[in-house]
C-alpha cells in the first residue's frame, strides 16, 4: 500500500520526556497546533495552565494555543495524521496499551532510539508487526540531538527517514526552522540499527572510563565501534550507505563523548566496580543500551557479524563476565 | 632498491619534545640503547646528568645507560640504522640542516604528523625527494597518542607503516611493551595524509567551539570530517583501506576531542574573535593545522576532491574570510 502524507497533515507526539518536549517545541514553533499525549497528571496540568513541562526542559515556554496536551490517547491519535513516538523504548508498549483507535491510516514516526524489550524488535519492527502497518507508513526522526541543545536553539542536524522521499520531505517541513538542519534518508534499517548500536558502544565507553583507560584508548574504542556498526549494517542489510554523516557516526559520537549519557553512566558504574544489579538500581531509568546489548546479540546469532565490542558489553551485563578482564580481552581485538 | 631492517638494528630519535621523549622512553624500556639528537643545551645537560627532560614529560626518568643524548647530529645518525624523526614539522628542515652523513643506508621513520612548510610536501615526500631515499626505506609511526598518556603507561595503540610488512614488524618489535598495542599497515600515503588532515579538522572544531556551537554540531562536524578525510584519501590515492580504525579515525577523534590540542586552541582563539595574526602570536608554537590547511589546498587543486571543511579553514586562515559567516556557510554543506 502506498501512503502519501498530505501537506496539511496534523501531528501528535506521544511522550513527555525531554526529547518529546523538544520535538513539540519544534513543531509548535512552526505554527502548528500539536496533539500531545501526556499521561502524567502533574505534567499535563502544568502544560495546560502554564504552558510548561515542569519535569523536562522546564525553561521552554509553549504558546498554549499551539499545543493540545491530553491524557486521552485515543483522542490524540484520532485527530492526527502523523503520530510521533517519543517515549523511552522500555515503556513504549505501556504507553500504547490504552490505544483502541486503529493506526492503519496513520503515518508513524519513531523518535525513539532503542528496542522494545522482550520482543527482540526495534520500534519500527514492532509497529510493523504488532499493528500490521506497512514499512511505507513508518519513519524515523533522528540525529545527534541532546534535547537541551535543540530546545535552546543550538544548531542541530536531524534526519527524517522514510522509504518514500516525498513523505520524508513532508515530515521535514514540519520541523524546519532557524536552528535545525534537516537531512533525508531512505535507510530505515541502517539508521535505526545504528542508533540502537551506539547505545551499546556508549556503555562500552563508560566501562572503559570507569576502569581507568585514557583518551588514547577511548578514541580507539570509538573508532572501532564506528567500524563495527558499519560492518554490522553492511553485512546484515547491504545498502549503498555512507555512515560517516550525522545520522550514523554523528549520533555515535555525541552519545559516546557525552558525560550525560545514561548508557555511559551505567558502564561507568560497572567499570568502577558496582555489580550490574546495583548499577541498574542506581539509575533512575534503565539505559537503552542494556536492552540493546541483549537484542543485538539475539539478532546477530542469525547474521554472525564479528562484533567484539557489543559481545563484550553483553557478556559483562548478562553473563557476569568480570569487567576488567573482559575489557582487557577486548583490547586485543581492536586495531 | 629493497631495504631489509635487521633484528639488531639500532635506533636514534631526532627531537626533544614530548612525543620524541615518549618515543625514547618506549625504546629504552625495551632494553635498547637509544641514540638521541638533542640540540637544546639545557635539555641535553639534564638528560646527561639526571636522565630527565626538564621541558617535556619531566616525570619520566630514564636509565642513563640506555640513552645516548648528543648534540652531534652526524654522530647520532652515523651510529643508527633506524632514524626516527620526531621534531615539530615546522622545524624539521632546521633540525636536519647540520647533517652531512648520508642517509642512503638508513631507514627513516617519521613520527611527525604534519607537512614541511614552504614545500607543500609531507615529511615522507620531503625525505624521499630531498635525500633521494626510496619509499621502501621510509616509514611512519603514528596513532592516537597523547604523549603524556603513552609515557604514563596508559594503554595506547600505535601503528607502524612501511611498504614492506617485514620492516614494519622489525620496527614494531622495538616498541612492543606492556601498554602499547601495535598495528601494522602498508598505507604510507593514506595514514600520513589522514594524520595531516586531522589537524585541519581539529582547527575547525576549535573555530566552532569558539563561535558557540554546541555538542550536537561538533558531532556532525567531526563525522563529516571523517567522511571528508576518507573521500580525500580514496579519490586522491585509491586503495583498499578501512579508515574506521585507530590510525585514521582514532587519531582524528583524539585530536578533535582533546581540549589540549594546539590546533583546536588556534581555532578557538579565532572563533572567539582574535585576528589570525594575533591568534598565531598567542601560540608558543605554530599549530600544524595552520600549515596543513595551505598545503592540502595546494595539493587538492590537482585532485579536486570536495572538501568543504578544509576549504573553510583555509579561507579563514589565509584569505581573511570572517569566521562566523564562513562557519555558517559551512553548516549548509554538512549532512
Q: What is the pLDDT of residues A109-136, one digit of tens each?
A: 999 988 898 889 999 999 999 999 999 9
Contacts of B158 in chain A (CB under 8 A): none
In sequence order, the β-bridge partners of residue A82 are A11, A107
Contact B332 A181 (CB under 8 A): yes
Domain pair B11-186 / B189-331, same fold = no
Contact B23, B37 (CB under 8 A): no
Cα(B150)–Cα(B152) distance, rounded to whole angstroms?
6
Contact B251 A219 (CB under 8 A): yes
Tell me whether B289 touches chain A (CB under 8 Å): no
In sequence order, the β-bridge partners of residue B121 are B116
Best of B181, B197, B215 to mutate (most A CBs within 10 Å, chain A): B215
Contacts of B149 in chain A (CB under 8 A): 214-216
Tell me whether B235 touches chain A (CB under 8 Å): no
Read off the C-alpha cell for B29: 624500556
**Min Cα separation B220/chain A (Å):** 5
C-beta neighbour count of B172 within 10 angstroms: 18
B251 is in an annotated binding site: yes
Q: pLDDT in tens for each of the 335 residues of chain A?
A: 678 998 889 999 999 999 999 999 999 998 889 999 999 999 999 999 999 999 999 999 999 999 999 999 999 999 999 999 999 998 999 999 999 999 999 999 999 988 898 889 999 999 999 999 999 999 999 999 888 888 888 999 999 999 999 999 999 999 988 799 999 999 999 999 999 999 999 999 999 999 999 999 999 999 999 999 999 999 999 999 999 999 999 999 999 998 888 899 999 999 999 999 999 998 877 789 999 999 999 999 999 999 999 999 999 999 999 999 999 999 999 99
Cα(B76)–Cα(B200) distance, rounded to whole angstroms?
33
Tell me whether A180 touches chain B (CB under 8 Å): no
Predicted pLDDT of residue B90: 87
Contact A1, A164 (CB under 8 A): no
A325 is in an annotated binding site: no
Tell me whether A18 touches chain B (CB under 8 Å): no
Predicted pLDDT of residue B93: 94
- CA B106, B112, B113, B119: dihedral to nearest 10 degrees? -70
Question: Pick the catalytic residue: A136, A198, A240, A304?
Answer: A198
A18 is in an annotated binding site: yes
Give the A:B interface size as CB pairs under 8 Å: 151
Contacts of A224 in chain B (CB under 8 A): 244-246, 250
Cα(A312)–Cα(B81) distance, rounded to whole angstroms?
42
Tell me whether B220 touches chain A (CB under 8 Å): yes
Tell me whether B333 touches chain A (CB under 8 Å): no
B90 is in an annotated binding site: no
Nearest one of B196, B13, B15 to B88, comparing CA atoms: B15
Q: What is the pLDDT of residues A5-50, one digit of tens each?
A: 988 899 999 999 999 999 999 999 988 899 999 999 999 999 999 9
Owner of C-alpha cell 604534519: B114
Predicted pLDDT of residue A148: 86
B147 is in an annotated binding site: yes
Predicted pLDDT of residue A1: 60
**Chain A residues 128-167 within an 8 A CB cutoff of chain B:** 143-146, 149-150, 152, 154-157
Contact A161, A188 (CB under 8 A): yes
B156 is in an annotated binding site: no
For B231, nearest residue in chain A (alpha carbons): A244
CATH 3.40.50.720, domain B11-186, yes or no:
yes
For B241, nearest residue in chain A (alpha carbons): A227
Q: List Cβ neighbours of B50 (8 Å cut-off, separation of 6 or more).
A: none
Predicted pLDDT of residue B132: 95
Nearest one of A156, A53, A39, A31 to A91, comparing CA atoms: A39
pLDDT < 50: residue spans in chain B: none
A288 is in an annotated binding site: yes
Tell me whether B40 touches chain A (CB under 8 Å): no
**Which residues of B are catalytically annotated?**
198
Read off the C-alpha cell for A190: 541502517
Give domain limits for chain B. 11-186, 189-331
Contact A214 B154 (CB under 8 A): yes
Contact B215 A149 (CB under 8 A): yes
Domain boundaries B189-331, CATH class:
mainly alpha
Q: Residue A196 — left, alpha, or beta (φ > 0 → left; ψ -120 to 50 → alpha)?
A: alpha
Cα(B55)–Cα(B42) distance, rounded to whole angstroms?
9
Contacts of A18 in chain B (CB under 8 A): none
**Longest pairwise C-alpha distance within chain A:** 58
Helix and strand counts by DSSP (H, E) for chain A: 15, 10
Owner of C-alpha cell 625525505: B127
Tell me whether A260 touches chain B (CB under 8 Å): no
Contact A215 B143 (CB under 8 A): no
Tell me whether B248 touches chain A (CB under 8 Å): yes
Amino acid at each position: 500500500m502506498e501512503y502519501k502524507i498530505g501537506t496539511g497533515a496534523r501531528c501528535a507526539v506521544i511522550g513527555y520526556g525531554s526529547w518529546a518536549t523538544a520535538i513539540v517545541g519544534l513543531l509548535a514553533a512552526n505554527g502548528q497546533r500539536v496533539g500531545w499525549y501526556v499521561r502524567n497528571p502533574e505534567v499535563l496540568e502544568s502544560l495546560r495552565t502554564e504552558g510548561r513541562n515542569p519535569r523536562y526542559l522546564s525553561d521552554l515556554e509553549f504558546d498554549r494555543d499551539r499545543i493540545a496536551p491530553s491524557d486521552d490517547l485515543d483522542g490524540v491519535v484520532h485527530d492526527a495524521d502523523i503520530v510521533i513516538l517519543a517515549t523511552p523504548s522500555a515503556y513504549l508498549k505501556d504507553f500504547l496499551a490504552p490505544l483502541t483507535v486503529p493506526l492503519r491510516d496513520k503515518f508513524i514516526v519513531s523518535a525513539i532510539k532503542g528496542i522494545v524489550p522482550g520482543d527482540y524488535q526495534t520500534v519500527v519492527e514492532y509497529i510493523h508487526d504488532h499493528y500490521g502497518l506497512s514499512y511505507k507508513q513508518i519513519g524515523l526522526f533522528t540525529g545527534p540531538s541532546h534535547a537541551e541543545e535543540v530546545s535552546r536553539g543550538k544548531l542541530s542536524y536531524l534526519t527524517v527517514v522514510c522509504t518514500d522521499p516525498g513523505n520524508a520531505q513532508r515530515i521535514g517541513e514540519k520541523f524546519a526552522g532557524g536552528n535545525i538542519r534537516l537531512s533525508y534518508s531512505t535507510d530505515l534499517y541502517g539508521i535505526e540499527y545504528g542508533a540502537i548500536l551506539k547505545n551499546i558502544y556508549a556503555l562500552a565507553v563508560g566501562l572503559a572510563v570507569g576502569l581507568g583507560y585514557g583518551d588514547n584508548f577511548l578514541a580507539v574504542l570509538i573508532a572501532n565501534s564506528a567500524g563495527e556498526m558499519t560492518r554490522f549494517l553492511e553485512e546484515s542489510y547491504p545498502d549503498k550507505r555512507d555512515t560517516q554523516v550525522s545520522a550514523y557516526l554523528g549520533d555515535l559520537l555525541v552519545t559516546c563523548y557525552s558525560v550525560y549519557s545514561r548508557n555511559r553512566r551505567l558502564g561507568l558504574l560497572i567499570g568502577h566496580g558496582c555489580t550490574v544489579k546495583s548499577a541498574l538500581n542506581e539509575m533512575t531509568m534503565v539505559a537503552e543500551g542494556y536492552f540493546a546489548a541483549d537484542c543485538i546479540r539475539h539478532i546477530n546469532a542469525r547474521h554472525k557479524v564479528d562484533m567484539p565490542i557489543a559481545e563484550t558489553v553483553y557478556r559483562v551485563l548478562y553473563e557476569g563476565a568480570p569487567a576488567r578482564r573482559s575489557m582487557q580481552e577486548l583490547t586485543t581485538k581492536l586495531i
